[in-house]
Amino acid sequence: MVLSTSPTVQRPQEFKSARPGRNQPQDSPTAIEIADLNAYYGDFQALHQVNIRIPQNHVTAFIGPSGCGKSTLLRWINRMNDIIPTARASGTIRLGDTNVLARTTDVVDLRRHIGIVFQKPNPFPKSIYDNVAFGPRLHFKTTSSQLDQLVEWSLRKAALWDEVKDRLHKSALGLSGGQQQRLCIARTIAVGPKILLMDEPCSALDPASTARVEDLIFELSEQYSIIIVTHNMQQAARCSDSTVFFYEGRVVECGPTIQVFTRPKQKQTEDYVTGKFG
């Protein structure tokens, strides 16, 4: 892969998506199709006519300055915005055959298929084991041995098992910030989602923990379609396959990460990814 040769200020240098053998997002099937989405908080319109496609088993990054609507979009994909009384949306978010935004959609079942990880690690004040078992206990009737297996599987997937296997029944609040965030990821994948939404998952973490979580995100994309909202350009470049750039509630540019970061089509994107504004 040849990178752009134009001299820029802070071009990211590492692209995991450029690794040999990685198939490109445009070649893979669609996980989520978003069409004509308009979102509002009361009278304020947060998103205007959003039309994007989220590829399956890839990492999609939402980037853009604060207040540009990227978190709003993320929170509409699994209807987390239902909690906010003033939030409304029109348009369609298509997941397979279902329209996520339809009134008839079973939100509880939807959130089982679309998991979310938040900005600040928010483990429950329970044991590590109970944190991971929380979701499965909500949805399934399991025997304790099945649950043990599921907890171990999830923690292994989240690259946390070796660090916590001897203290599963200790409080999750005793873990470090990075460990807590990986626990939150383990907790989310324990209910068996197909899609993972991550709302700035590393913004509260130190650089070493961030690197671990980024590696994890990239590994998880083998099996999950991942959408990550981030303020960190380097992060978006490093661990995503495709990137969507938002500005003032509109999608400015959307494409493979390498292209968006090295040969952006829009001037605004160029300015943003090189750090001239935002």
Minimum CB distance to another protein smaller for 83 or for 102? 83
Binding mask 34-73 for another protein (x = CB under 8 A): ----------------------------------------
Least distance between another protein and beta carbon 136 (Å): 9
Please tell me whether residue 125 binds another protein under the rule CB under 8 A.
yes
Count of C-beta atoms within a 10 Å radius of residue 138: 11
Q: Please state at what angle helix 177-189 crosses helix 207-220, rounded to 10 degrees.
A: 20
Distance CA 3, CA 263 (A): 8
- Among 79-87, 95-103, 227-235, 236-244, which window interacts with another protein (CB under 8 A)? 79-87
Q: How is residue 63 annotated by DSSP?
A: E
User: Which residue in the block uniquely carries the two structure tokens 């999608």?
Assistant: 251
Residue from 48, 88, 94, 120 that binds another protein (CB under 8 A)?
120
Token representation of residue 15: 């692209």
Least distance between another protein and beta carbon 25 (Å): 25
Least distance between another protein and beta carbon 133 (Å): 11
> Are the CB atoms for 218 and 16 separated by under 8 Å?
yes
Element (H, E) at 76: helix 70-77
Residue ranges in 158-177 that form contacts with another protein under rule CB under 8 A: 171, 173
Binding mask 173-212 for another protein (x = CB under 8 A): x----------x--xx--x---------------------
Residue ranges in 228-257 that form contacts with another protein under rule CB under 8 A: none
Strand boundaries in 182-249, DSSP class E: 195-199, 225-229, 242-247
Q: Could you give the count of Cα atoms lying within 13 Å of 87 in the half-sphere of its Cβ?
A: 16
Least distance between another protein and beta carbon 278 (Å): 26
Residue from 30, 122, 223, 266 that binds another protein (CB under 8 A)?
122
Q: Please state at what angle helix 144-157 crosses helix 128-139, rounded to 10 degrees.
A: 120
Please tell me whether residue 2 binds another protein under the rule CB under 8 A.
no
User: Which residue in the block uniquely carries the two structure tokens 């099996």?
Assistant: 223
| Residue 197: strand pairing partners | 116, 227
Which amino acid belongs to residue 85? P
Q: Summarize as ranges the residues that interact with another protein (CB under 8 A).
A: 78, 80, 83, 85, 108-112, 115-116, 118, 120, 122-125, 134-135, 138-139, 171, 173, 184, 187-188, 191
